A = this chain, B = another copy of it.
Amino acid sequence: MKALVELANKAREVSGVRIYKRNVEAVLSAVLKSGDFWEIVDMSSLPVPAASGIVKVLIDEGILFIDDEENIKLTQKGFDFVRELGIETFEDHSCKACEGRGIPFYANIELYREFLQLTKDRPKAIRDYDQGSVTPETTISRVLFMDSRGDLRNKDIIVLGAEDDLTGLAIALTRKAKSVLVIDIDKRLIDFDNQIFKELGIDNARAMVWDLRNPLPEDILGNFDVFVSDPPETLPAFRAFIGRGIATLREEGGVGYFGLTLRDSSVFRWRDFQISLTSEFGVAITDIVQNFNHYITWDYHSETKAAELAPVKREPKTIWYKSAWYRIEALPGFKRWNEPISDDVFYLDEEGSTT
């Protein structure tokens, strides 16, 4: 039987992404809990190519097999292996009340109700822009999180390129912000928001079409207290969304929120992002709440690289794609970045797979 570290190295070769011993353990621990590949990705907190590479290697080694219903299971040899290593079943003690976020969506049930009723016919997530909407519970929890940190009331807030989640709409619905500006590449979302703002007479909120690959116009730079975004996980996209987000901040003490996932990006990439945030952009990270953002599986799932890479064809049955919720605070001397950016690898690189 190969050692875990050898299995990790082999999976790294197969998948082309960075994998270490701990990741193989995490997959085995998850398999003890569920045979569903997408749940295994979720529980092991790995990029899809990494989880998939590990599963494939473990099948090759006779540790796992796929049954007739496309469940991933341990062989007898696999059970012995896992027992020998002392790997135990994945456990999750997350709070049932707040779904582990620390802030329950029902803390403002009126807002949740109004949001749900107004968004019944919201535009569906489409592949063109790497969209994937979070659950309404996530969106409302984001707003309540912001409120709990003093980042909502009487603040000028901009939502950049993340309005498939309708977070800008939810913020506007609180009627607590000073102003809300939503910019997104997708005209359907912009029209949807503006229509509701108009119907409800919310005149301090507006939405406009913008492609974040282009520099932001001058009148947006340095004019906001808070930005919210949800970037694709490539480095160029991170710069375009978060760099520009920081550039919209008025002054030190300005705040940014965004999602970052370990399903399309490794912990190695996360460190790169964190070095960039703290050393280059001059912000401090105040919060990282894992699995805060729950994404509804997108209709175009079967067309993604993730589906292609998966060791099984079976589609996800439940929510499997989650991301962490970051909060950053701009310190004196923070950097406003607003360069043009090329199309190359904007949405997809070797670790990403859900576009």
Contacts and interface: CB of A to CB of B under 8 A. Distances in A.
A162 B174 CA distance: 42
A289 B289 contact: yes
Contacts of A130: none
Contact of A153 (B86, B94, B145, B275): B86
B94 A102 contact: yes
Nearest to A275: B278
A251 B282 CA distance: 30
Interface stretch (A19-27, A200-208, A340-348): A19-27
A178 interface: yes
Contacts of A20: 251-253, 332
Given A21-B253, A145-B93, A284-B271, A153 B88 contact: yes
The 3 closest A-B pairs by CB, nearest first: A22-B253, A86-B154, A97-B97
B97 A331 contact: no
A332 to B, nearest CB: 7
Nearest to A332: B20
Query: How many copies of this kind of chain does the complex include?
Result: 2
A279 B275 contact: yes
Contact of A290 (B95, B284, B287): B287
Contact of A144 (B90, B93, B96, B103): B93
A285 interface: yes
Contact of A331 (B94, B107, B267): B267
A222 interface: no
B331 A268 contact: yes
A66 interface: no
Nearest to A291: B102
Given A98-B102, A287-B324, 20 more contacts: A20-B251, A20-B253, A21-B251, A21-B252, A29-B150, A86-B153, A90-B150, A92-B148, A93-B104, A93-B147, A95-B95, A97-B98, A100-B102, A102-B102, A267-B331, A271-B283, A271-B285, A274-B284, A278-B278, A288-B289
Interface string A62-95: 0000000000000000000000011110111111
A107 B87 contact: no
Interface in A153-187: 153-154, 176, 178
A122 to B, nearest CB: 24
A108 interface: yes
A270 interface: yes
Contacts of A271: 278, 282-285, 331
A230 interface: no
B93 A108 contact: yes
